Amino acid sequence: MSTNLKVLVIDDDAVVGRSFNRVLSDKGYDVSTVLNGKDALSSIEENSYDVVFTDIKMPGMDGLEVTERIKARCPWTPVVVITGYGTQDNEEKASVLGASGFVRKPLTPEMIESITLKAVNDAASVKSSVREQEVAAEVVVEEIEVAANEELAKPQRNSMIKNVGLFFASPFIALGYVIALPFVGFYMFAKLGHEAYSKKQSTK
């Protein structure tokens, strides 16, 4: 392994912790062990773990409660429940609480290595899938923003086109006024003359 992945083992039986340490340390993992749930939660506050293993039967806080609290604090951290008292009920509860796996003692070195690798790979797949969904959502949001900006820009674009059209048309409009002005003046002069003549004739 190119980088050391951090593993936390929670079990009141120190022999279990030593077994995990012996097997996984040789594979390049950095293994920490604690004997109860309280110490486990304290360790998780200070460290970031790639996978956590917890026994169910422990004094004080049991493994199911530990699993629930860890998943609440670190939802992406895989938690595997290990126990010598495996029952269907406990397995279902562990699954509901977000446990990544449920394995029964005794554990062989091969089991320890395989379940650790599976938990790490499953967590990586979930993170990758979530990231892909986040990227897809970001693309959709960007497309919506672009479409909204285009809609907002339409009135401004239409106004700009209108202004440009008026700018180019204004010389021709002015020229029209210049050409028409003499005719308008002649018309007004003729109209006034006609009105004056009619008024003069009416007074005779």
What's the pTM value of the predicted model, to 2 decimals? Answer: 0.63
Residue 2: predicted pLDDT: 42
Instruction: Phi first, then psi: give them for residue 81, nearest 5 degrees.
Output: -90, 130
CATH of the structural domain 6-125, one choice from 3.40.50.10800, 3.30.559.30, 3.30.470.30, 3.40.50.2300: 3.40.50.2300
CA distances from 35 to 9, 55, 188 (A): 8, 10, 111
Residue 174 has pLDDT above 60, yes or no: no
Give one DSSP letter per residue of the chain, joined into a string. --SPPEEEEE-S-HHHHHHHHHHHHTTT-EEEEESSHHHHHHHHHH---SEEEEESS-SSS-HHHHHHHHHHH-TTS-EEEEESS--HHHHHHHHHTT-SEEEESS--HHHHHHHHHHHHHHHHHHHHHHHHHHHHHHHHHHHHHHHHHHHHHHHHHHHHHHHHHHHHHHHHHHHHHHHHHHHHHHHHHHHHHHHHHHHHHHH-
Give the pLDDT band (50/70/90) at residue 184.
Answer: very low
- Of 68 and 201, the structure prediction assigns the larger pLDDT to 68
Residue 185: predicted pLDDT: 54
pLDDT of 9-65, one tens digit each? 999 999 999 999 999 998 999 999 999 999 999 999 999 999 999 999 998 999 999
Token pair listed for 79: 């938690």
